[in-house]
Amino acid sequence: MITGAVSITGVVISSIVAKIVEYKYNVKKYLYDKREEPYKQFVEMIYKIMEDSPKKDGEKMTEEEMTKMVSEFSIGLTLW
């Protein structure tokens, strides 16, 4: 009888711990997925600026385009 009670208690405790661990994992994954897009935008923005710098034909990215890129990145970063 005691062995059965200990066994059932162990199963219940392990189930609770497993659910807590799974919940924490799901929260981390959700936040990671939400952060991925803004950081992708940030890297793309940096590369666009780097590609724009060495142009010899004098054609540069306008200030309006740069402001738009920074604004989109800021919005994405703020939302998560």
Please write the tens of the pLDDT for every residue from 16-72.
999 999 999 999 999 888 888 888 888 888 888 888 776 666 677 788 888 888 888
The pLDDT value recorded for residue 44 is: 87
The pLDDT value recorded for residue 20 is: 97
Which residues, 6+ apart, have CB-to-CB distance to 69 below 8 Å? 41, 45, 48
The pLDDT value recorded for residue 22 is: 98
Between 50 and 15, where is the model more confident?
15
Between 60 and 14, where is the model more confident?
14
What CA–CA distances, in Å, run from 59 to 51, 52, 55?
Answer: 12, 8, 7
